[in-house]
Amino acid sequence: MDSALAPLVVARSTRPGSPDHGQQHWKAVAWAGLGLARQVDGCDAELVLLFALLHDTQRFNESRDPEHGLRAALFAQELRAEGVLALDDERLDVLADACTRHDQGFVSDDPTTGACWDADRLNLWRVGITPEARLLSTPPARQRELIADARSFHGLAYTWDDLFDGFAQLAP
Ligand SMILES: [Fe+2]
Ligand SMILES: [Fe+2]
């Protein structure tokens, strides 16, 4: 998997330029996820990156869109069927489930799902919401310093090349 995946996904996303839910947000989620994947034992870093890239790609609006996670999961399944994503059934299921339920207020004991949801929630600052430790799944995400640092994440400049490189270095 390399960063060529990003433009392909962007081209097939509904609102990539959205300030709150578009590409800048996906990159900031990848950045947060990269930090967590380094610290969470048993976390599948590649799935965290894929979650960041895909989870908000199929939004129809900027407010209430309760099925956007499900549509992102279907998109992930489509990409696997097309041979774009090389994931076995088990990993695809983890990714699809993390996408489907990401906005439903759950926490997870699964290190990968937990890191995905935490990476998204640490970025709630961008919409004026302070991330709450009780809604974060992984111990590193619940650290007060990280929650505070995450306030800056949405405003940082990222390239997909750098983010993919960061994850590649973590991959087993
Ligand atoms: Fe979302
Ligand atoms: Fe999101």
pLDDT tens per residue, range 73-110? 999 999 999 999 999 999 999 999 999 999 999 999 99
Tell me how far apart the alpha carbons of residues 1 and 5 are, in angstroms, rounded to a whole number.
7
Please give the distance, rounded to the nearest whole angstrom, from the Cα atom of residue 68 to the centre of ligand 1.
Answer: 7
Residue 40 and residue 33 in contact, taking contact as beta carbons nearer than 8 Å: no
Residue 172 pLDDT greater than 70, yes or no:
no
Please give the distance, rounded to the nearest whole angstrom, from the Cα atom of residue 73 to the centre of ligand 2.
Answer: 13
**Which domains are present in the chain?**
17-170 (1.10.3210.10)
Contacts (Cβ under 8 Å, ≥6 apart) of 39: 138, 140
Around ion ligand 1, residues with a beta carbon closer than 5 Å are 56, 103
Contacts 24+ apart (CB under 8 A), 40-44: 40/111, 40/114, 40/115, 40/138, 40/139, 40/140, 41/111, 42/111, 42/112, 43/111, 43/112, 43/114, 43/115, 43/138, 44/91, 44/94, 44/111, 44/112
pTM of the complete model? 0.98
Tell me the mean pLDDT in the region 147-167. Answer: 98
Residue 171 pLDDT greater than 80, yes or no:
no
Residue 42: DSSP 8-state? T
Looking at every residue in the chain, the average pLDDT score rounds to 97
H/E segment holding residue 96: helix 89-100
* Residue with the two structure tokens 């099925």: 67
Ligand closest to 63 (CA) is 1
